[in-house]
Amino acid sequence: MRLLKNKKALSTVVTTLIILVVSVLLATVVTFYAINVTTTRVQEESLFLTKPHVWYNPTGQWAEAAIVIINTGGKDVVIDKITVRGQECDWTNVYYWKTSTTTISADLNATTTELSGTTFNMSSTFTYTTENFTRASKDLTLMSGYTMVLYIKSPDSISVNDIGTTVGITVFTANAQYYKETNVEST
């Protein structure tokens, strides 16, 4: 009997309004969270490394490495560092070529002469272009959807004794590391 006479209870209208407002606020928070997750995932960094090679030229007694990097992510990427067998490659030993229109489907070939100069003519080696490869001087930027072909002069301390051994090539960005292994080949 006492419960029926309690005048401090909320009315049905006020209770319904409170439940409605809480439901709308909860739905809004969930919607904003879903939008945030979706938009940040679209702009995620993603590199695809393919066609890794490390060659040693026993005649000229020099080594070089090559790899293709494709930016499959939704944002531009800055390549901070490249290592071969854990040793950082100096930027002045890295030669690159970028494209957004050419698909690199054939394998990469070793150069016939040692990489040198500020540009290196790859017409006798590279199947896709007669353009020159440019020597890097600092971190490399790879735009979304672009492909970069890298040739590296004198990676680590590759010698004739390394032919047939497995070597790792690692590409570093601000957010991630991308790793590929290959065997050292003789040219």
Kindly report the length of the chain: 187
Q: How far apart are the C-alpha atoms of 187 and 181, rounded to whole Å?
A: 18
Structure tokens at 65: 């490495």
- Classify the C-alpha dihedral 100-101-103-108 as positive or negative: negative
Q: Judge contact between 134 and 118, C-beta under 8 A.
A: yes
* Per-residue pLDDT tens digits for 106-160: 889 999 889 898 888 887 777 776 678 999 999 999 999 999 999 999 998 899 9
- pLDDT < 50 positions in the chain: none
Query: How far is it, in rounded angstroms, from Cα 23 to Cα 17?
Result: 10
Strands 147-153 and 119-121: unpaired
Give the start-end residues of each E strand in the chain: 47-57, 62-71, 77-84, 87-88, 94-99, 119-121, 132-135, 140-142, 147-153, 166-173, 177-186
Question: Could you tell me the fold of the domain covering 47-186?
Answer: Immunoglobulin-like (2.60.40)
Contact 67, 168 (CB under 8 A): no
Query: Which pLDDT does position 3 carry in this prediction?
Result: 55
Give the pLDDT of residue 90. 95
> Domain ranges in the chain?
3-42, 47-186
pLDDT at 43: 64
Q: Which residues of 158-167 are buried (b: 16+ CB within 10 A; e: fewer)?
A: beeebbeeeb
**What pLDDT is stored for residue 41 in this prediction?**
57
Q: Please name the residue ranges forming H helices in the chain.
A: 12-42
pLDDT score, position 77: 95
Determine the Cα–Cα distance for residues 95 and 105; give it in Å rounded to an integer: 20
